[in-house]
Every structure is written in structure tokens, then in C-alpha cells.
Amino acid sequence: MSRPRIGLTLDVDEAGLAYRLPRAYAEAVAAAGGLPMPLIHQAALAAELLDLCDGLVVTGGAFDLPPELYGEPRRPACGPSRPERTAFELELVRLALARDLPLLGVCGGMQLLAVARGGSLYQDLAADLGLSGHEQPHPKDAPSHPVQVEAGTLLAGLVGTGPLLVNSTHHQAVRAPGRGVFVSAVAPDGVVEAIELPARRFALGVQWHPEAVARHEPRHAAIYAGLVVAATRGAR
């Protein structure tokens, strides 16, 4: 049987001239048995690109979602955005959910999943909640704090329940998860670290980077494995 095709969203360089994808994403998909497929930023082609995929990973990046997407004015602590990428990824997420296509949102991809379901974000954890400790220094792949995984969730079925050490690099976080979205992991300070949609076959968002931290904590590899298994069941 051929490998299920897993679409991976891309970042762009500062000049907007070249696409970029950290190797860890593609390698995690390949190690889990999937075929990584990069997806260019073309919102008008989102449906056709998704037709080629059996699963989807919305990757993270060093930018913020426009707060206008969740009905708030931009405040000074909100960082720069990438409108073209966000518009494309938002269309992909909405289509994937409508098709019940297996979906994994990583870091900013998790935040986009919440916003796509009508949720909202804290624009800056320090400014909004007085919290720090979620933007770790290098090395970025090393775990920096635990999260508590909720029993009975999709995430718990993959990595187990109870504490899980994660790597964390974000200054924004999910405030309201959105319609039909369940919080499946939280940090000790109460910050939402994972969400999922129980009504979908596989729709999971994690605030950390399992593709990078798996070398320190092998349990994280099960997240990509779970996505690939779900995509295999629906593969054409």
C-alpha cells in the first residue's frame, strides 16, 4: 500500500521570495509512514491542493495571527503577521474540517485551528496575563515545561495521560477554544497547550513542536504516527 500523502504548509523568508520548511516536519511525517507534500500559499488553489492530500499539518512560524480574525483590535504587544500565509492556511483548515480530513495544527497551527472554529487568542501572555516562560531559549528542541494531558482524549490515546514534557516557544495562546473544541492539555500556569475536535476523525492542535522534541521524549512521535494512521484509513 502506498504511503498516505500529508500536506505541509510552508513559511516564507523575510523578503517573501523563498518558501521554507524546517526539516523536522517532513522527517517526522516520513518516519511515521507518510509522504510529505509541501503546499504553496495559494488560497484560490486550496481545495485543489487538498484534493491531493490524505492528511494535513499546519506548521508554526515566527508570526502572529491578525487579531481582526477573532474580532479584536491589534494591540502593541501583538507581533507581525503574514496575511497571505494565514489566508491560505485558514482556508485549508476550514476545508479539512468540512471534509473530515485528518489534521494536525502545530504551535501557530493550533491557534489557527481555534480561530477557525470561532475561538480567540491572548495577543501576548505577558501583557494579558502577566505570564512568562513560554518562549524558551535555544535549544528549541529541548523540553522546558510539563503539560497535563487530559484522560479520555485523542491526545491521551496517543501519548498517555498525566504529565508530558514539551518544548514551548510562543507568546500568544488560545483564550477561547471555539465551537466543538475540547482542551486536551494545559500547562501548570493554566495556558492551553492542546486542543482537539472530538467530532472529527483526527483534528488535533498542540502548542509545542512534537516533531522537534521527540528526540528527547519519544512519546511525541506518536502524534505524527496517529495522524498518518488516520490518513491511511482514508487514503484513496
Q: Which residues are catalytic?
A: 107, 209, 211
Per-residue cell: 146: 510539563
165 and 146 in contact (C-beta within 8 Å)?
yes
Let me know: does 9 contact 88? Beta carbons within 8 Å: yes
The helix/strand/coil state of 58 is: strand
* Residue 219: count of CB within 10 angstroms of its CB: 15
Cα 46–Cα 49–Cα 54 angle in degrees, nearest 5: 115
CA-wise closest residue to 34 among 167, 211, 219: 211
| Separation of alpha carbons 206 and 3, rounded Å | 24
Q: How far apart are CA 17 and CA 75, in angstroms?
A: 28
Separation CA 32–CA 17 (nearest Å): 31
CA 231 to chain CA centroid, Å, is 16
Check: CB of residue 39 under 8 Å from CB of residue 84: no
**Within 10 A of 224 (CB to CB), how many other CB atoms are there?**
27
